Amino acid sequence: MYQFHFKSDCITKERARLPRESDDCIDTLLDKAYLLYRDKGAYEIDLGLGPDTVLVRFLRTPLYYSVYTTPQFRDLDLGKFADHPYPENAAIASDLLPPLLNMFHKARYQDDHFYLRDGGINIMSGFIKLIFSCGGYHIVDIAELESVIV
């Protein structure tokens, strides 16, 4: 039950959400992230919805990561990645991924001034990273979110 919260000045900074390239294809980005976790051995994906970048780490090369722009990730051919079963020892069960990714979608569009800029899931550690428009940064353990998303 670890929760790290770094306070910020969310109340004083109102930055209206400007449309980003990721907003045009967010469903595709979230679907690809799910398939990479479920079928291709990704263990951590960081979706930069504000900066329009995606970082992916794979179990087969845990010390390396791949960085994609939104268009590169949107158009990524998943067939070029070898199949890899979902890890049995993952801290986040595969059936929790769709509701977690849906939570990212909701947090991105729920409010025009307080919105998700970056969301990441590490299925092995069980940590979910959330960065909001006001600079609020949260790392939350899946045990604390599970009852909320299911």
Beta-bridge mates of residue 138: 5, 130
Distance spanning both ends of the chain, measured CA to CA: 18
pLDDT at residue number 4: 41
> Which pTM was predicted?
0.86
pLDDT at residue number 136: 73
What 3-state class would DSSP assign to 75? coil
For 77-133, write each residue's pLDDT tens digit: 999 999 999 999 999 999 999 999 999 999 888 887 788 889 999 999 999 999 888
Domain positions in the chain are 17-149
Rounded mean pLDDT, 51-73:
94
pLDDT higher for 124 or 6?
A: 124
pLDDT at residue number 51: 83
Length of the chain: 150
For 25-59, write each residue's pLDDT tens digit: 899 999 999 999 999 999 999 998 878 899 999 99
Nearest Cα to 110, choosing from 127, 128, 133? 133
Q: Residue 3: pLDDT above 50?
A: no
